[in-house]
């Protein structure tokens, strides 16, 4: 993996109007190293807040945003990119070394699940602060 990927999940894949929805956002896996479930975390970002402004030296990260809307920012090739995410649940794949952040620009909380590949080490979580937005 060498670039950020943003993919919308297709509604027909996970939605049932009678019983809600379910999703398998990580069905394609996390690469050869897999993911350590101890590093999986659930995130809430409230309106107007920004979360992130960091990168990971060794690990790739996958974000599964399933509620809310906002702007995802990343720096790649010396340029800061942004992508507005509204609507359907979205999976964002972030390679190691890419600075990234997310700003909730909506009126409701953003909820997402985040995980990284490789082994999770609580004493060295592989998070390097880097101001982006």
d(CA 109, CA 23): 19
Predicted pLDDT at 40: 86
pLDDT at 54 over 50: yes
Give the up-direction half-sphere exposure of residue 46: CA atoms within 13 A in the CB hemisphere: 0
Q: What is the pLDDT of residues 15-46, one digit of tens each?
A: 667 777 677 676 656 666 667 777 788 999 99
What pTM did the predictor assign?
Answer: 0.85
Confidence at residue 51, expressed as pLDDT on a 0 to 100 scale: 96
Architecture in CATH for domain 5-16+30-129: Sandwich (2.60)
Classify residue 29 by burial, with Cβ atoms within 10 Å: 0-12, 13-18, 19+: exposed
Q: Can you say how many angstroms the Cα of residue 1 is from the centroid of all Cα atoms in its chain?
A: 15
């Amino acid at each position: 993996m060498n670039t950020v990927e943003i993919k919308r999940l297709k509604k027909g894949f996970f939605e049932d109007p009678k019983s809600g929805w379910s999703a398998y956002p990580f069905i394609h896996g996390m690469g050869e190293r897999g993911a350590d479930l101890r590093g999986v975390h659930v995130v809430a970002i409230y309106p107007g807040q920004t979360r992130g402004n960091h990168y990971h030296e060794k690990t790739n990260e996958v974000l599964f945003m399933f509620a809310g809307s906002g702007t995802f920012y990343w720096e790649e090739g010396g340029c800061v990119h942004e992508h507005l995410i509204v609507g359907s649940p979205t999976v964002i794949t972030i390679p190691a070394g890419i600075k990234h952040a997310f700003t909730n620009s909506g009126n409701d909380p953003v909820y997402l699940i985040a995980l990284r590949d490789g082994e999770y080490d609580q004493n060295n979580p592989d998070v390097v602060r880097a101001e982006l937005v």
